[in-house]
Homo-oligomer: A and B are copies of this chain.
Amino acid sequence: MTGGELGLSRRQLVNIIGRAAGASVAYQAMTSLGYAAESGYKGPIKLSPAKPGASVVVLGAGLAGMVAALELRAAGYKVQILEFNQRAGGRNWSLRGGDRYTELGGATQVVDFAKGNYFNHGPWRIPYHHYAVLDYCKRLGVTLEPFIQVNYNAYVHNSKAFGGQPQRFRHVQTDLQGHVAELLAKATNQGGLDQAVTKEDRERLLEGLKSWGTLDTDYRYVASKATSDKRGYEIDPAGGLMPLAKPSQPLGLNDILQAGMWAQVNTGNVYEFQSAIFQPVGGMDQIGKAFEREVKPMIRYGVKVTKIEQSASKVTVTYVDAVKGGAPRQVSADWCVCTIPLSILSQIEVQVSGPMRDAIAAVPYGASVKVGLEFKRRFWEEDELIYGGVTQTDLPIRNISYPSNGLFSKGPGVLLGGYMFDNVHAFRMTSMSPEERVRAALEMGAQIHPQYKTEFKSGVAVAWHRVPFTNGCYARWTDALREQHYKNLCAIDGRIVLAGEHASYIPAWMEGSILSSLDAVQRLHAKALSA
């Protein structure tokens, strides 16, 4: 029996089951209904009514903080939020023309993008299995559009292979798969797998490899109409009496092996990057703005938390004006959900137990740097026929991501000109001035797109270690750190619970932040009811 047969949506049915039989049965029901068995997200939470008059102070109006505020207020808690910035959203943040951003050290960038253009220097993609983010977007009216991750006409680039020339993704992908298939077919035909695979399966394997690797009747991967129907032609099939199609010549096995682009062609197969993958229409910050619309009356903007204390009966948070400083002020509540990044929280006096304090201090933060570049025209579309997607390179910029929105439009376009996420290059970029970062990204990118030199309009560069409200991009856990500190970080300490991507197993992703918050408020609520 399905919900449909009852005239109910899955969600309605699961809610009914949940109310009638409890969460674990509801979970089973969802699994059997084909819902996200894998996910920590089990659909919208609905907290039971709070004790009359119970209050919560939420620290930080990023996604975790706003989720907590939204759900706790719905249960009847009096909620207030303290936020460092003059806006909500936290790292859910985009930059547009006219925006000013001052980083640690004082450098101020005034964004000079054309109207309608934006740059997602924080989160930029939403995987299809980030169910909590997707569901909040749906409930809060954030319209999503496909993000193009893999583009077969974009490039893979290894500065030490193919004479430094970027290769079309479709060429490397097709040829790598073809050569693998040919080698495996050869080994199979020569008896190399007689021990490992039954005769019947060997025949199936050979038949499959022929199709999958586009091998000829002799199990060879060679230039042909068939291989060109995957990698593209030297001259495409056309119309009328135009020149006849001409197959393209595959890259050689040796060249493919020397280039070592296995990870690059595999990107689209990674769970977090698989199609379908999405972005909000109009910029990633539309999510933060949608939450903000819901919780705005609860937010006190522009305040810096300086101390968090708790007693047997309440939590007291001391704060000052984030810009002017001045006299400390205090706010008290029965409970506290603290979503301040550990990179900031570790600098604040927090009255929690030793294990939680140790956990707060233990986790290093990733140093990602993102560079947004605006060009006078979308030359990647007009000249190179790349519509959305990502070019991957071994240069420190690592990625050039072409916008998935405004496709085929005229006028200036903004691309992600660099995403440095390994320590060495991110640190190096972080130590530069914003202008130097932009210049470095331009110089590197010009090795792939010579048009950079003449088409550049303006750029902006965000080094997350120098972002005043977070001092880093995301919590960089190791297995050893998790083993030692994760539970202590997440456990409710008296009247305080932490939430955010740092209190999750999905660091750096909005989903981690939201799931962490949903889990934290449910546990806090249970404790508040039983207290």
Hey, which bits of chain A sit against chain B, CB under 8 A?
A: 2-5, 7, 9-11, 33-41, 128-129, 131, 134, 137-138, 143-146, 148-153, 170, 173-174, 176-177, 180-181, 183-184, 186-188, 190-193, 196-198, 201, 204-205, 207-209, 211-212, 228-245, 248, 253-254, 257-258, 260, 262-263, 265-266, 268-272, 274-276, 278, 377, 379, 382-385, 387-389, 404, 407-408, 450-451, 453-455, 487, 490-491, 499, 503-506, 511-520, 523
Judge whether A516 and B257 touch: CB under 8 Å: no
State the CA gap A314–B523 with chains docked (Å).
86
A233 to B39 CA separation, bound complex (whole angstroms): 9
Q: A253-B201, A275-B152, A383-B35 are in contact. Are A242 and B515 (CB under 8 A)?
A: yes
Out of B2, B229, B254, name the residue touching A271 (CB < 8 Å): B229
- Chain B nearest CB: distance from A176 CB in Å? 8
How far is it, in angstroms, between the C-alpha of A258 and the C-alpha of B491 when the chains are bound? 48
User: Can you name 13 extra interface pairs (CB under 8 A) apart from A152-B275, A239-B499, A242-B519?
Assistant: A4-B453, A9-B382, A38-B233, A40-B239, A128-B153, A128-B387, A134-B408, A145-B145, A153-B276, A205-B257, A208-B260, A209-B262, A239-B518
Q: How many copies does the complex hold?
A: 2
Output the residue of A192, A248, A490 with the most chain B CB within 10 A.
Answer: A192
Please determine whether B9 and A377 come into contact, CB atoms closer than 8 angstroms: yes
Query: Least Cβ distance of A481 to chain B in Å?
Result: 15
Contact yes or no, A258 B204, CB < 8 A: yes
* Distance in angstroms between the alpha carbons of A186 and B191 in the assembled complex: 12
CB–CB B257/A201 < 8 A: yes
The answer to whether A4 and B487 have CB atoms under 8 Å apart is no
Contact of A211 among B266, B382, B383, B453 (CB under 8 A): B266
Q: Which residues of B contact A523 (CB under 8 A)?
A: 240-241
Query: What is the minimal beta-carbon distance from A498 to any residue of chain B, in angstroms?
Result: 9
Which chain B residues border A263 with CB–CB below 8 Å?
211-212
Is there an interface contact between B183 and A40, defined as CB atoms closer than 8 Å?
no
- In the complex, what distance in Å separates the CA atom of A3 from the CA atom of B376? 13
- Given contacts A35-B385, A454-B5, whether A241 and B153 have CB atoms under 8 Å apart is no
Question: In the complex, are the beta carbons of A197 and B211 less than 8 A apart?
Answer: no
Q: Output the nearest chain B residue to A143 by Cβ-Cβ distance.
A: B408
Report the separation of the CA atoms of residues A36 and B232 in the bound assembly, to the nearest whole angstrom.
Answer: 11
CA distance A119 to B511 in the complex (A): 34
Which of chain B's residues have a CB closer than 8 A to the CB of A228?
271
Q: Which of B240, B278, B383, B451 contacts A490 (CB 8 A)?
A: B240
Q: Distance (Å) between the CB of A403 and the closest chain B CB?
A: 12
Bound Cα distance from A67 to B265, whole angstroms? 38
Contact status of A153 and B129, CB under 8 A, knowing A238-B506, A499-B240, A514-B239: yes
Q: How far is the CB of A137 from chain B (nearest CB, A)?
A: 7
CB of A95, distance to nearest CB on chain B (Å): 24
Q: Is the CB of A382 within 8 A of B129?
A: no
* Residue of A138, A240, A275 contacting most chain B CB atoms (<10 Å): A240
A-B contact pairs, 14 of them (CB 8 A): A4-B379, A4-B450, A10-B382, A37-B234, A37-B235, A150-B275, A183-B193, A204-B260, A207-B260, A239-B503, A239-B511, A239-B515, A239-B518, A242-B515
Question: Is the CB–CB distance between A230 and B271 below 8 Å?
Answer: yes
| Chain B hits for A208, CB < 8 A | 257, 260, 262
- When the two chains form the complex, which single residue of B38, B137, B193, B260 contacts A234, counting CB atoms closer than 8 Å? B38
A163 to chain B, nearest CB (A): 16
Q: Are A385 and B131 in contact (CB under 8 A)?
A: yes
Take A40-B242, A238-B515 as given contacts and tell me if A230 and B269 are in contact as well, using a CB distance cutoff of 8 Å.
yes
Residue of B nearest to A376 (CB): B4
The smallest beta-carbon distance between A135 and chain B, in angstroms, is 9
Question: What's the nearest-Cβ distance from chain B to residue A529, in Å?
Answer: 17
Q: Which of A275, A407, A454 has the most CB of B within 10 A?
A: A275
Which residue in chain B gives the minimum CB-CB distance to A404? Answer: B146
Tell me if A253 and B377 are in contact (CB < 8 A). Answer: no
Closest CB in chain B relative to A243 CB, distance in Å: 7
Do A236 and B40 have beta carbons less than 8 Å apart?
A: yes
Given contacts A2-B454, A152-B274, A242-B519, are A506 and B385 in contact (CB under 8 A)?
no
Give the residue name and chain of the B residue nearest to A507 (CB): B237
* A204 contact from B5, B257, B388, Cβ within 8 A: B257
